[in-house]
Amino acid sequence: MIKVLALAHPDFAGDNANALGMQAALAEHYEQQGVPVETTATEEELAALTAGKALPDRQYVILGAGQSQLAHLEALKQPNVMTVWSGHQPAPELLEKSRALDVVHLPEYAVTAPLRTVLGHRLVTSPHGVPHSLTENIINTAYGKLAPSLPPAGKFLLVMLGGDTPPDGTFSPQEAFSLGQQMGNYATQQEFTLIGTNGPRTGGVGTHEPGMPLDEVSKSFLDGVNTSGLAAERQQFHPFVRGEESAYKGLLGAVKSREGSIAVLPGDSASMLTEAIDMLPLDSVAAYPTQAMQEIHHKQLKTVAEKGYATVAGFPAVIAAEKPSPAAKSVAEHIGSLSRQQNTGPVR
Listed by start position, the domains of the chain span: 2-131+326-342, 136-312
Instruction: Pick one of 2.60.120, 3.55.50, 3.90.1010, 3.40.50 as the CATH number of 2-131+326-342.
Output: 3.40.50
Query: Where is pLDDT greater, at 53 or 104?
Result: 104
What is the distance between the terminal CA atoms of the chain, rounded to a whole angstrom?
A: 16
Q: Do domains 2-131+326-342 and 136-312 have the same CATH topology?
A: yes
User: Which own/partner pairs from 70-76 qualify as long-range (CB within 8 Å, at least 24 positions apart)?
Assistant: 70/94, 70/97, 71/97, 72/7, 73/7, 73/97, 73/100, 73/101, 74/100, 75/50, 76/49, 76/50
List, for residues 211-221, the tens digit of each pLDDT value: 999 999 999 99
Determine if the peptide bond prior to 167 is cis (ω within 30°).
Answer: yes
For the cut 70, the answer to whether the pLDDT of residue 198 exceeds it is yes
For the cut 80, the answer to whether the pLDDT of residue 245 exceeds it is yes
Say which CATH architecture domain 136-312 belongs to: 3-Layer(aba) Sandwich (3.40)
Q: What is the mean pLDDT of residues 314-340?
A: 90
Vertex 115: Cα angle to 113 and 116 (nearest 5): 65
16 forms beta bridges with none
What mean pLDDT value characterizes the chain?
A: 93
For the cut 60, the answer to whether the pLDDT of residue 346 exceeds it is no
Residue 44 is predicted with a pLDDT of: 87
Q: What is the mean pLDDT of residues 312-321?
A: 91
pTM of the shown model? 0.92
Residue 341 is predicted with a pLDDT of: 63
Residue 340 is predicted with a pLDDT of: 64
What is the band of 37 on the pLDDT scale with cuts at 50, 70, 90? very high
Phi–psi pair at 340, nearest 5 degrees: -65, -40
Dihedral through CA 139, CA 140, CA 145, CA 149, nearest 10? 90
